[in-house]
Structures are given as C-alpha cells and as structure tokens.
Copies of this chain bind each other. A is one copy, B any other.
Amino acid sequence: MGEVFVLVVRWADGGGQKNDTGWGKRPFPFKNLDISILPCYNATGCIKRQGLIQIMTDKPVRTIADIAELAGVSKSTVSRALSNSPLISEETRERIQAIAQAHQYQINQPARRLSMQQTNTIAFITHGYHKEFSVEDLFFMEMLGAITSALSQKNYDLLLVHVDPYKTDWVHDYLNTGKVDGIILMTSTHKSQHVQKLIEVQAPFIAWGVPVTGANYCTVTGDNLTGSRLATEHLLELGRRKIAFLGGPEKDRETQLRYEGFANALIAAGLQPDPNCVVHGWFSRSCGIEGMNQLLDKEPNIDAVFCNSDFLAMGAIDVIRERGKRVPQDISVVGYDDISLAQYSNPPLTTVRQNINESGRLLVNNLIQYLETGIVTNVSVPVKLVVRESTMPG
C-alpha cells in the first residue's frame, strides 16, 4: 500500500462547518491518482453545485465496497444511496451515484437476488407443436412478443423455457431454485397436466386459458363465448344457414365455450346446431384439412364454416377449393385469433381478433400483482370480429 496520505476535501461552495468532511477523516489508500472536478446534478438535472471529487485509480470498481472506499463511506451507505433510500442525505446520495456512474458500476444481480430473495425474472413456459418453433406457433410467438414488452416495462426479465408437453418435471428446475419469481404458462396441448402439477406444488403462476373449475389460480383468456357468437352472427347476417363448426380438441375448455357461443347464436336465429356439421381436432392447418374433408363428406351443402383457429381456416380453404368450390362465394370461412398471417392469407381471413397485446400485458401485470399481494385474478379479454374477404366478396 506504500505511504499513507491524508486528503482534506474543501467543497467548492466552501465555508461553514463542512470544510473537512468526506475523505478528510480517513487515511488515503491510493497512489496513482487523477483528481477531477465533476458537476453534481440535482433532481431536475441542473448543475447544483460543483465540488465532487472523483478519484480515478487503476483499481477497477466492481463492488459497492469499492465505491464505499472511494467515497469514504460504508457499504451500507452506498447500498442505500444507490437504491435511493430516504435514509441517506441528498448530498451523499448524489455524490455516490455520481461516482458509481463515473466508474460505470453495475450491480451484481446474483448477490442482490440472494440477499433479496427475489429475481425480477419470470419464466415463460411453452412448447412447439413440433420439436422446433414453426409458423404454426405464431400465436404463441406473438403473445411472447407482447409479454416481453410488458415485462420490460416492469423491469422484469424473461426466461424462455421450452418443455416437453408430456412431462412436468421441468417444474423442479424453476421452482424453489431462485431462478424465477413466477411462471407464465402457455401450452396448448396437455395444458391441464401442467396446471395440475403447478397447483400441486403451489407454484406462483398464471396461465393462458379458461380456468379449471374449482381450482384457484390466475388466468387470462380471450372471451370465447362472445368471439364465437360474433363470428356466427356475422355468418347468419350474410344469409348463411348451413354453418359448420371446425373446432379444437373436444375436451378443451376454450373449444367448448366457442361451441356454446356458436350454438347459442344459431338457436337465437331459430336454427338448430347439426351434429353432422361439427368436427374436432387440433388447431393446426393439417387438422383443418382433415376436418373440412370430413365435414364436406357428411354435408356437401355447407355454406359457411366457423374455424377455431386461423390455421384451421387456412387448411379448410385449401380443401374447399380443391373440391371445386369458391371462398367466399360458395362457402364463407371465419378463423380465430387474427394472427398477423391472417391478413396475408388468400383470401384475407375474416377472423375473431384476440387482443394479444392487452392479453400479454394482463398476463404480466396480474402475475406480478399475485406475487406481491396474493390476489388471484381471472380475466376474460374482449375480442373483436375482423371482416375480410373470406366471408364477403371484396
């Protein structure tokens, strides 16, 4: 350490009893120094006072202890100053923050997380229909984008976790490990197993979709009942009478609600839902192809079809055309979700728009609210019918 210096600091605005604060009372530990005067800003960003001593040594500043040494204060004071604790005087706080900034100090997150038992990170759990992501996962992708935006506004990070839909052992890697504070669950297949497991281990999570009845956990979902009603009423208004339902999995709650809204709209118009005009499958394009073929085999004179996803609709349109009919002249097609691809489809799809941005925002905000307060929310986000050429000639 070589010789010991004592540095007496005299503030530029001098006078009074503060003449020898700061370094004045401590032995000075460094040798090679640059000393420069830094302006000191107040809350409004104006220069309030000149007089900060910035000490630049060859020793890198990585920890609050380093800053404490430079500023001649204790670790606690630095910690408090950097987190804007009201315990610290404005003067000290500004000085310490200026030093931190001058040395490009970055807080060590693992240390902070260990100490605070909080990570400001959430896990987004999903899986592809296939091993990798593909266009069929577009809805998830768009939701992921919305969630990422919402999280960054809240100063949270997002850990992306790709899971095997058949296994729930991923839970142990992210629960009680301090990797994340909470979980956003968004898997379409086998969702119930994952939800079950999360409830079982009392994980802090929120799920996309209709809540399992009786269970008490946070959810956000689109308004399926209204969405399907709007779509069906639109088709009825166009004069369609033989309307088919090309649905998702039969045991899927969303699908059940969409069927309910569909059937209600038919009944309200004095029609009866025809079992021959209903098929179920996944939400994929290939199931759209398969399902539409089944429907037309059973009921060749269908004049409209309400599909539970945009991909189902695209598959259906291909089948309809292959079979020599026209969309929308012979058969009107409505999709669901309004993924960004829907408008580029041929013809552009009439579809029920899920409010993806709002849903992502709610997933984030309600999860964080749950983490902070324990309040369980179940939200249904409004949807909107977007009319394009797949139901009405352009």
Contact = CB atoms under 8 A, between A and B. Distances in A.
A281 interface: no
Contacts of A179: 109, 157
Main secondary structure of the interface of A (DSSP, over half): mixed
A159 B159 CA distance: 5
Interface in A234-279: none
Given A134-B142, A176-B106, A344-B285, A160 B162 contact: no
Contacts of A161: 157-158
Given A142-B134, A149-B132, A344-B285, A114 B106 contact: no
B157 A152 contact: no
Contacts of A111: 110, 114, 178
A136 interface: yes
Contacts of A138: 135, 138, 141
Contact of A134 (B119, B137, B340): B340
Given A148-B162, A339-B135, A356-B132, A108 B141 contact: no
A116 B178 CA distance: 15
A99 to B, nearest CB: 16
Identical chains in the assembly:
2
Contacts of A134: 142, 145, 340
A113 B390 CA distance: 54
Interface residues of A, number: 51
Contacts of A178: 108-111
A177 B109 contact: yes
B144 A152 contact: no
A133 interface: yes
Contacts of A159: 121, 157-160
Interface in A331-346: 339-341, 344, 346
A135 B285 contact: no
B137 A141 contact: yes
Contact of A160 (B109, B114, B160, B344): B160
A346 B344 contact: no
Contact of A110 (B119, B141, B160): B119
Contacts of A357: 132
Contacts of A109: 110, 177-179
Nearest to A157: B159
A146 interface: yes
A167 interface: no
A374 B365 CA distance: 41
Contacts of A137: 141, 145
Contact of A106 (B108, B172, B339): B172
4 nearest A-B residue pairs (beta carbon): A133-B145, A134-B340, A110-B113, A132-B145
Given A132-B357, A314-B344, 18 more contacts: A62-B176, A106-B176, A107-B177, A108-B114, A110-B113, A131-B149, A134-B142, A134-B340, A135-B138, A135-B340, A135-B344, A145-B162, A157-B161, A158-B159, A160-B160, A285-B344, A341-B341, A346-B346
